[in-house]
Amino acid sequence: MLSVALLFAGCGPANDAGEQSPVDQRTIESVVEELTEQHGAQHEDRIRRGVTQAATLWREKDGSAGDFETFCLQRFIGSQEELDEVFDRLAHNFEHLFGYMNRISLEMNRQLHEDRGPIHYIDQLFGAYSPGAHIQDDLYDSKIAFVVALNFPHYTLEEKNEMGGTWNDREWGYARLGDYFTARVPAALQQNYSQASNDASMYISEYNIFAGELRNEEGEKPFPEGMKLLAHWNIRDEIKSNYGQPGGLEKKEMLYQVMLRIINQDIPEQVINSDEYEWNPHTNELWRGQEEVTPEPEGSRRYAHLLNIFNALHNMDPYYPHLDTYIKRNFDSRMEIPQEEVEALFREYADSPLLRETAQLISERLGRELRPYDLWYDGFKARSGISEEELDEITRRRYPDADALNQDLPRILRELGHSPDMAEFIAGKIEVDAARGSGHAWRASMRSKPSHLRTRIGEDGMDYKGYNIAIHEFGHNVEQTISTHFVDNYFINGIPNTAFTEALAFMYQKRDLDFLGMQQDDPMQEHLEVLDVFWDNYEMMGVSLVDMNVWKWLYDNPEATPEELREAVLEISKDIWNEYYADVFQSRDNPLLAIYSHMIQSPLYLSNYPYGRLIKFQLEDFVSEKDFAEEELRIFSIGQLTPRHWMNEAVGEQISNLPMFEAVEQALEAMQ
């Protein structure tokens, strides 16, 4: 979906790189004066905004300055009745245009995203193809884009935050439509990004480690034969699952070494997505059968993919002179929260003394000093006393295939309090597929098509890891359905940014055992859940800080090689670790925070997770004494306002660390 977002990111008026508009300021003023005289002073602000925005987008190929003047005089809509009529028709047409483009992309990527057998190179070619790459050009050439820009002008983030409190849903729709046409990026650059993104996604989706072939120094294999773990997600989750389990310490240490090998890129290329070799990740020794084999390090391939994505996005920068870096476009436009504000919030969190107190509690519960992989300590969860094997048996029996989960979705929604009719409606807009990768939720961009829930499902059914991911993705799908079908108009469908859909996904994921009928009556459960979220977010703040600072480095070093980028990522991850983690884990210069695969394939996505958890925490607190289903429908039908206005309508307060800090203080006191 990022390609569509790149096309229509609200970014302020912008001139095409190297191509100036033939419309000068004198012409703009003349057109504004004539339109104001024709339609009345009450329209002057909208006229000035619209004419100025359209002028900055006009090119010689679109016509002369005189042609621009004629266009504006003919196409400006002064009647509110006609403006509403055009708005409704644009909503219908854009929903179907972008909805079908989204559906085409989904179908072309099925072989890549779903577990449908071997991938042929033709599948990769279609996956890299962007069917919507030329839509922007077509809309400008047909003058549709100029009609929109002229009549539904763009508002900056500051203006939306200042003025949006008095807007109704339709006025918000006008403003969101005004975000659509604010820059003209050549289709070739969009296609280039699509190729780089697809290549990185393919690389990550096939990055499996066969844990059953990992050997210790005694030649023993601690993991079950055939166990295959996708990096980083399944490796992380396997670490989590081994707390309190026999042999868990050795397994965690071994997987930790695997992670370090991946980050450093000295992992033998032979063991990636292959079960033909036995490997000792501690020593990096490699065997094929009884014969020792020389490891061939992966090198810098991981970082080459990140660099390719950077270059593809960096090439678009000249077309966004007011948001001239991808960092600005991601935070100021897409997330609608400045990067500096996000980073300051994360650093405040990671520096909290409460984390040091929580770390001491974890150390006491484990009966040992903390190791770096205890970032993924899982002992606060209710399931910590249930073996992974038992959970796997339960989920495999209940969900032998994707259809079994698909049939069970209405029941899960009824358990959350939705009426039978509403549960059937929401579930009926979701399809479950067996994923090739770790799993994801694919949003439907039109009401007549379903969203898709993807998770890993083995030949013997869905294990607990796959189920846990599926419930998380189900939360996304529910948000997607509510925020598409229950908003006032198409242009405000969705949520302010990805962190808000992550919030509901985390709320669902938290209840995964409840949906299996395994509720536990632990009087300390509420406090344990607070500490669990608090500790999880500590990890996510760190990886997000690494992600942001890697992108800052890339912009400071745009000519970097993959090898130089690899060294920079290692240094940045060590610096963040030394500042916020070394004192907790008694370990310096550790690059572990660079393990997340998102950093390679999903540029600057990681910040949505910790932000989402903060939002989730505030939402959970707000709905705790209310009807969950009723509030879920109300909150996620607010629509795509800015984060400030959305939070105000949803819970009556802004995003902050303080509510979580206060709850953690109470939890730590209770645990004592």
* Residue 200 forms part of a structural domain: no
**Whether residue 178 sits in one domain with residue 219:** no
Weakest mean pLDDT among 35-39, 293-297, 316-320: 316-320
Q: What band does 9 get if pLDDT is binned at 50, 70 and 90?
A: very low
Higher pLDDT, 81 or 205: 81
Give the end of a domain, one of 298, 314, 337: 298
pLDDT digits (tens, 9 = 90+) for 301-324: 999 999 999 999 999 999 887 789
Tens of pLDDT, residue by residue over 583-607, are: 999 999 999 999 999 999 999 999 9
Note whether 161 and 17 are same-domain residues. Answer: yes
Is residue 220 included in any domain, yes or no? yes
Q: Is residue 203 part of a domain?
A: no
The one-letter code for the residue type at 235 is: I
- Assess contact for 487 and 636: CB atoms under 8 A: no
Q: Looking at the domain assignment, is residue 194 inside a domain?
A: no
Residue 23 sits in the same domain as residue 161: yes
pLDDT at residue 46 is higher than 50: yes
Tell me which residue of 484, 530, 534 sits closest to 353, measured CA to CA: 534
Report H helices in 351-428: 353-366, 388-398, 402-415, 420-427
Tokens linked to 639: 């629509």
pLDDT of residue 8: 40
Report yes or no: 298 and 190 within 8 Å, Cβ to Cβ: no
Q: Which of 462, 489, 515 is a domain's end point?
A: 515
Whether 530 and 451 share a structural domain: no
Residues 448 and 558 in one domain: no
Whether 310 and 274 share a structural domain: no
Q: What is the per-residue DSSP string for 146-213?
A: HHHHHHS----HHHHHHHGGG--HHHHHHHHHTTS-S----HHHHHHHHHHHHHHHHHHHT-EEEGGG
Do residues 510 and 450 share a domain? yes
Domain membership flag for residue 198: no
Q: Which domain holds residue 428?
A: 387-515
**φ, ψ for residue 392, nearest 5 deg:** -60, -45
Q: Kindly give the pairing relationship between strand 439-442 and strand 451-455.
A: antiparallel
Q: Are residues 663 and 563 in the same domain?
A: yes
Q: Determine the pLDDT at residue 385.
A: 62
DSSP codes of every residue in 213-270: GB--TTS---SPTT-EEETTHHHHHHHHHTTTSTTHHHHHHHHHHHHHHHHHT-SBGG
Contact 197, 328 (CB under 8 A): no
Give the residue with greater pLDDT, 69 vs 620: 69
Token pair listed for 474: 């189900």
Give the C-alpha separation, 391 to 389, whole Å. Answer: 5
Residue in 380, 376, 350, 354 with CA at minimum distance from that of residue 365: 380
Convert the pLDDT of each residue in 340-354 to its tens digit: 999 999 999 999 999
Q: Please indicate, yes or no, whether residues 482 and 616 belong to a single structural domain of this protein.
A: no
DSSP 607-670: THHHHHHHHHHHHHHHHTTS-HHHHHHHHTTS-S--HHHHHHHHTSS---SHHHHHHHHHHHHH
CB 614 within 8 A of CB 136: no
- Is the four-CA dihedral 318, 324, 329, 332 of positive or negative sign? negative
Q: Are residues 44 and 168 in the same domain?
A: yes
511 and 550 within one domain: no
Answer whether 0.85 is exceeded by the pTM. Answer: no
pLDDT for 626 beyond 90: yes
Within-domain flag for 47:
yes
Flag whether pLDDT at 66 surpasses 90.
Answer: yes
Q: How many domains does the chain have?
A: 4
- With a CB cutoff of 8 Å and minimum separation 6, the contacts of 513 are 382, 383, 519, 520
For residue 4, the model assigns a pLDDT of: 40
